[in-house]
Amino acid sequence: MSSIALVILAAGKGTRMNSDMPKVLHQIAGAPMLVHAMKAGATLEPERTIVVAGHGFDDVKNAAQAHDPDAQIVLQEEQNGTGHAVKVCRDALAGFEGDVIVLFGDTPFVQPETLETMVTARRDNAVVVLGFEAADPGKYGRLIMDGDNLKEIVEFADASDKQRGVTFCNSGVMLVDGIVLFTLLDALDNNNAQGEIYLTDIVKEARNRGLSATAVSCDEVETLGVNSRAHLAQAEQTFQTRARAMLMEDGVTLVDPATTWLAHDTVIGRDTIVEPHVFFGSDVTVESGVHLRAFSHLEGCHVSRGSVVGPYARLRPGAELSEHTRIGNFVEIKNAEIHEGAKVNHLTYIGDASVGAKSNIGAGTITCNYDGVMKHRTVIGEGAFIGSNTMLVAPVTIGNGAMTASGSVITKNVEDDALALSRTPQENKAGFSRKLFEMLKKKKQKLQKDAD
């Protein structure tokens, strides 16, 4: 197979989005549309990746290179059509003699197997176009075929009534022999209804030069373009539906699939159970045999096999759960390791900490990790027992097998097997409760009288 250069067109402003943000940076499943397109193209293992940016150039560049630091970003100062957009890649493609595939930053769902089909078709053709049978052809460009040969692509604005009757439509995705690409582009003009240089015109130009062209077909959903907020919502639903189905095929139980929300990079092992209303942010890995209970929120975390999380738990970035841990209701874990068999079951915050194996963290425990300026770390040893409503003021270390008494504020390290007790001695004042209530009632009556 010839080497591949990936070109992604991402210069448009996207006025229908009604946004200050470049269209391709609007997110689907926690990642910009541009990143989805880059991930799709990456399955071909391209030798070069080039993103054509215009509106919001710096933001697009930062997003692209955050995903792929080796990506080249080129500027299209004026948007004079798709053909012009590819022409500005001339310098970035200097010396490259492989094939060039053109994707679009606002068309995020082209599948790897579809791209592989295009690569196969390229062996016998100089130009391969991706098409689809449209349920409603609307204003899509039409692919005019003669058997397996693609004669030309006609933009809707330039099409005759007969051509508009064709339902095989152009997705915009194209694979071209890189050796002839710029020769074909240089022959194009903007003599059309839009006054732009159409990339699609290289098909006709290739045919005029005796080069062959063809089109391969994919499901229409793969060609979904996002041009408005409504399209963005539709794209999100498309992604979620597909990702949920793949997880269930891989052996994950989704109790109510419609209420499970996944990120673009969510990884879940088989025999895991996901109860309703669980939300996955980016960078979450869940191993096999985990039970994620309802209304939990996970992002930037790793959950090892056999663990139980939730309900109503929150795992934030840096949360690392070892095997057979228990994270219960209204517990928040951030930048902390919970080691094997440890339990954090109720109403607790564990941040910037390490909890030792088989330790038990009582309800209402807080690791006080922030002093207003700096973050500090709490270390809890193996087999420790932290009593309910303990404040662990970091930096502090609790030894192996140690215990803290309920209601304690722990500011000093606790050695192994010790009991830490830090609370004011209790004092009972006989009859004081009755006297206090009487005093408060008289005060309330006086306030009401003065108000009248």
- Whether the bond between 395 and the residue before it is cis, its omega within 30 degrees of 0, is yes
Within 13 Å of residue 112, how many CA atoms lie on the same side as its CB?
Answer: 6
User: Number of H helices and number of E strands within the chain?
Assistant: 9, 35
Q: Going by C-beta distance under 8 Å and a sequence separation of 6 or more, which residues neighbour residue 61?
A: 51, 53, 73
For residue 65, what are its two tokens?
């290179």
Say how far apart CA 290 and CA 275 lie, in whole Å. 11
Tokens 């662990």 — which residue? 392
Q: What is the DSSP string of 226-285?
A: --SHHHHHHHHHHHHHHHHHHHHHTT-EESSGGG-B--TT-EE-TT-EE-SS-EE-SS-E
Kindly name the residue from 231, 324, 346, 376 that is annotated as catalytic.
Answer: 346
Whether 394 and 377 have beta carbons less than 8 Å apart is answered as yes
The whole-angstrom separation of Cα 14 and Cα 21 is 9
User: Backbone phi, then psi, for 57, in 5-degree steps?
Assistant: -50, -50
Any catalytic annotation for residue 346? yes
Angle at which helix 57-67 crosses helix 33-42, to 10 degrees, equals: 40
Tokens of 171: 């997705």
Asked if residues 252 and 272 have their Cβ atoms less than 8 Å apart, the reply is yes
Active centre residues (catalytic): 346
